[in-house]
Amino acid sequence: MTQTTSQQTWPRPSRHICWLMAALAVAGLAASDALPFLYTNARAPINWTQPQLDDWKVEVQPRSVVPHVELKYHANRTSTETADSDEEFLERLRALRQNHSSARMLWYDAAAGDGLTYPPFVDKALKLFNLKQVAFEIENSVLSKVSCTACKAGAGLLQHYIKSGKTDAELMKMIAQYCTNLSIQSPRVCEGVAQLFGSEVIYVLQRVNLGPDELCSFIIGDGCGDVYNPYHEWEVIFPPVPKPPRLPELPVPLEAAPFFKVLHISDTHYDPHYVEGANADCNEPLCCRLSSGRPASPNAAAGKWGDYRKCDTPKRTVDNMLAHIADTHKDIDYILWTGDLPPHDVWNQTKQENLEIIKETVKQMTEKFPGVPIFPALGNHESAPVNSFPPPYVNQVDISINWLYDELDVQWRRWLPQSVSHTVRRGAFYSVLVRPGFRIISLNMNYCNNKNWWLLLNSTDPATELQWFIYELQSAEFSNEKVHVIGHIPPGHSDCLKVWSRNFYKIISRYESTITAQFYGHTHFDEFEMFYDPHDLTHSNSIAYIGPSVSPYYDLNPGYRIYYVDGDHDTTTRLVIDHESWIMNLKEANLYGYPIWYKLYTARAAYNMKALRPSDWNKLLNDLTDNQELFEIYYKNYWKNSPARPTCDAECKKRMLCDCKSGRSHDRRHFCADVESKIDEGSSKSWKSWFYRGLTNSYSLITSITYLPKYLLGYG
């Protein structure tokens, strides 16, 4: 169903794999006999063997064609809430203090006041690779040539040891030892990462014939160059049906028309082992557990309702949020649930523990919202190890993903029709006709996840998901249905494979008259993502709503979204009419002992938007670029009004607005040049204004001191 082309694609890094690569990079320097192969240009001839794909046919699968949701009657509900409903919170919001903090690292240097010391034998490696910089970049998911060099050295060394005949056990032991000796992580985290991720990485590297350049370009993405690799280039095939002519401008939904009230919950990251008072300032990827050790001071103790540091959501906070939603929003028509249920303890997770968390949270949602349809999407943390989602052709019992997809089919069947079972068990994606003329399609975005190492074997439309997606959209177009798309990883995020994202972008453009909204999570921030006609960037054709996380991980307040969607009537657009974000101030909850959930903002009122069509969001993006005051409002909402949010300079502003404009991953230069130039121009003007204002103020101050000799002022 797909065809290959000759272009290139590369995403960005898996944090825990990069830890392994960083350790191996230094190992390469410690073993002098290993150095020559690390930088050799000699390459073995590529003998690519494509994995045997199955013969699954999209067009013969059953489809959901009967409306699945029966709407309930909600008395006295004729429109969204009034525009002045935010006023009761305004005074308290103004009073919230902005306590700025800098980014934190997991590795600390004692000499520099941050606690980290390296073994003496790696001094040379530190000078060459600057592991502290690598550690910082991995932790903050901003990878440069420093991390790229370390990745290539580590990948080369690992491939060398694989070819030399070392066993999997020997390789994983070596990885754990170097990780520990270099203080990249704590011994137990190093051991867990080596055991969980090492076997998978070794399995894949034994079956691909790619050099360190190709591997690290695939893993890290643009930060490691666009290295040509013809084996990860492919194109989906569209049916020979002309694209319907687009409207000059989408109509604005009628204000007084019926609507759906929709709850969006994402990234719960429920931690069953969260303990109030535990160490919240530990030196591991997840804290606030008994195993995190005793807090060094009262300020380092985990709060009752959660913590701004590297801690996930305690059960009492999840329970309180769901009870608040059920009590405050009694008229919810359906729920979008976009994944990431387990916590961030990625070094010691098991399949059974993750399944138990899925079962427990599904049971909790069912009890809190009886009779309310829920449409789930799969996150990247549901698998064990995290990000590991083998495509269907990887069907060995010990490494197949069937253990997860089969259980998801059982759990999701509480809300979904039986007709979706075949696609859920195949790839955790599905399509449901919600109401006459209105369909929801849930995608498994882990098949675009560049941290999913299984895609190195073959990234060509895993599980035939995108080709199936086209078939569903074409059928919807024939039936005059409008479609909402839900998933976890936003397609424009740097965690999404470039080639997958590029194909997805084409699909959105082709079916822009059918797809009226997209909904994702994953980033934990409150934001959005734009899509444009690939051949006309002045035409915005779709909007992706990226919902806030429930988890405060990290430096965030817990939050959720409410959408108002154009409902059942003769002229319905199925567009989002408006949306509002609700949060709980974690600092106040821990201080006063009880959380208060409140509406942070309503989109149209906060940003002065006429409607929420793609063109309206594009206008907002331009306004955010030009209007610093408006951008500061957006920045506050992006961070869910967290008192721990850092300051945002011009580079920060460029990154954020470029994220908004880039619905296609790893292509920022194509989308962001105008935004960046405007911000640079404004920043330059602001700097000059500040400079001259400073000179004027200094001169006024000096001249006001009357007793200074005149020659000091240039008069003598």
User: 10 Å Cβ neighbour count for 656?
Assistant: 18
How many whole angstroms separate alpha carbon 463 and alpha carbon 443? 11
For 690, counting Cβ atoms within 10 Å of its Cβ (0-12 exposed, 13-18 middle, 19+ buried), the class is exposed
Task: Tell me if 488 is assigned to a ligand binding site.
Answer: yes
How many whole angstroms separate alpha carbon 588 and alpha carbon 398? 47
Amino acid at 706: T
Maximum C-alpha span of the chain: 95
First to last CA, the chain: 86
Task: Tell me if 160 is assigned to a ligand binding site.
Answer: no
User: 10 Å Cβ neighbour count for 688?
Assistant: 10
Residues 658/674, Cβ–Cβ less than 8 Å = no
Closest CA to 454 of 196, 200, 154, 156: 200
How many whole angstroms separate alpha carbon 698 and alpha carbon 700? 5
Closest CA to 662 of 651, 675, 650: 675
Residue with tokens 């967290």: 642
How many whole angstroms separate alpha carbon 341 and alpha carbon 147? 30
Residue with tokens 């995108």: 466
Task: Report residue 373 as tokens.
Answer: 């349809």
Q: Is 456 helix (H, G, I), strand (E, B) or coil?
A: helix
Strand pairing category for 527-533 and 515-520: unpaired
Which residues are within 8 A (CB) of 254 and not within 5 positions of it... i.e. 6 or more apart? 566, 569, 571
Task: Report residue 196 as tokens.
Answer: 């969980």
Q: Is 578 helix (H, G, I), strand (E, B) or coil?
A: strand
Residue with tokens 């980290």: 116
Radius of gyration from C-alpha coordinates of the chain? 26
How many whole angstroms separate alpha carbon 34 and alpha carbon 319? 54
Name all contacts of 62-65 with Cβ < 8 Å and 24+ positions apart. Answer: 62/419, 62/422, 63/419, 63/431, 63/472, 63/475, 64/417, 64/419, 64/420, 64/430, 64/431, 64/432, 64/433, 64/439, 65/433
> Which residues are 496's β-sheet partners?
449
User: What single-letter DSSP state applies at residue 264?
Assistant: E
Residues 462/421, Cβ–Cβ less than 8 Å = no
Task: Tell me if 86 is assigned to a ligand binding site.
Answer: no
| Angle separating helix axes 187-205 and 168-181, nearest 10 degrees | 140
**DSSP letters spanning 84-100:** GGGHHHHHHHHH-----
Residues 311/552, Cβ–Cβ less than 8 Å = yes
Q: What are phi and psi of 458, to 5 degrees?
A: -170, 115
Sign of the Cα pseudo-torsion (288, 293, 299, 304, in order): positive
Sign of the Cα pseudo-torsion (631, 485, 500, 471, in order): negative
Q: Is 121 helix (H, G, I), strand (E, B) or coil?
A: helix
Binding site for Zn(2+), by residue number, is 267, 269, 340, 380, 488, 522, 524
Return binding residues.
267, 269, 340, 380, 488, 522, 524
